[in-house]
Amino acid sequence: MFIERNRRPMAAAALGLASVLALTSCSSGQQAAGSGGGEVAKVDGKISLTYLQKQGDQEYFVGEAAGAKAKADELGIDLKVVNLGTDANKTISEAQSAISQKSNGLIVVVPDPAVGPQVAQLAKDAGIALLTSDDQICTTGPDPASCPADALVPRIGFSGAQMGGEVGKRAAAEFLKAGWNPAETRTISAWKQDVTVCTDRVKASKEAFAAAGAKVQNIDVPTDNSPTGAQDKIAATVTANPSVKHWVVWGCNDENVQGGVTALENAGFKADDVIGVGLGAYLACKNWSSGKPSGMKAALFINGEDVGALAVQTMYDKLKNGKAFPKEAFAPTTMVDAATWKSAGVTCG
């Protein structure tokens, strides 16, 4: 995982928050159990929050933590950020630790959604507010995809359908511009298949690609959402399809697409025979900063700072002012490429 910071200046992040796309309320009008509903008391004094993040050394989450800390400083909040890595058990122990240290609220990005019900129960029993960022969790079962809407914990992040749709549309435009023979082309959808938000993104990418008139056979590639994991899996896929001359790659995040682009490069494919459309831009930009031709043709820029700051602001509004959590709150995104990434505010460490 990369740890170099990749984010816009704080002033730009604040502007991004001002243009939050959507705040929707629960269809039932009630907050899910343990999600910071009416049972959570307002805080009169200083607010203490704990932000539990999976893969805290990943580029996106480094930015998310920075945005959360900046907003906490602005609002006078005591904030502790904890890197959970990929350890689902650590989620529980750190949530218990936060409760014992009298945190007023928990913001969680879980390594595994299966721990969702236990985290939600801990928060409910302690009477503290619970909010997720990025990935969803359910209060009643391990799989958010099969969770009743009113049992989903309120989430701050991005719209998976919107992001995936933008990626698919750009991939289709690049494919049609290239003029490749569909019979000699394959698309690769790479993602960790038990992560609901990833599945939402990939599904939307496939649908948008097809809707644009790009008819190409797709290959689903299960990965661990890391560059090396994706590279290994996609390398095997390429080897198993020796007749394919052109490849289009998308996935849950920049890591999957970067892994795919690298695998194809190592297999001898030239940049003109590869279309990679990333999601994040924090790795894609490294290809463009070299000035050399790359199979990474574009990426959707998502700024973790916006999400971290919005999550802390949403917690503050709930605990200080009694404002109900939205069901979801979405931050803005921007499609960038080799010609536009710098002007869009993407920075590469």
Residue 14 has pLDDT above 60, yes or no: no
Residue 13 has pLDDT above 50, yes or no: no
Using pLDDT thresholds of 50, 70 and 90, give the confidence band for residue 142.
very high
pLDDT in the model for residue 349: 61
Which of the two residues, 147 and 60, has the higher pLDDT score?
147
pLDDT in the model for residue 8: 35
Residue 16 has pLDDT above 90, yes or no: no
Residue 111 has pLDDT above 70, yes or no: yes
The per-residue pLDDT for range 236-247, each reduced to its tens digit, is 999 999 999 999
**Highest mean pLDDT: which range of 6-10, 29-33, 155-159, 206-210:** 206-210
Average pLDDT over residues 292-313: 95
pLDDT in the model for residue 58: 84
pLDDT in the model for residue 20: 37
Average pLDDT over residues 61-74: 96
pTM of the complete model: 0.71
3-state secondary structure the chain: CCCCCCCCCHHHHHHHHHCCCEEECCCCCCCCCCCCCCCCCCCCCCCEEEEEEECCCCHHHHHHHHHHHHHHHHHCCEEEEEEEECCHHHHHHHHHHHHHCCCCEEEEECCCHHHHHHHHHHHHHHCCEEEEECCCCECCCCCHHHCCHHHECCEEECCHHHHHHHHHHHHHHHHHHHCCCHHHEEEEEEECCCCHHHHHHHHHHHHHHHHCCCCCEEEEEECCCCHHHHHHHHHHHHHCCCCCCEEEEEECCHHHHHHHHHHHHHCCCCHHHEEEEEEECCCHHHHHHCCCCCCEEEEEEECHHHHHHHHHHHHHHHHHHCCCCCCEEECCEEEECCCCCCCCCCCCC
Using pLDDT thresholds of 50, 70 and 90, give the confidence band for residue 29.
very low
Residue 10 has pLDDT above 70, yes or no: no
Average pLDDT over residues 278-291: 94
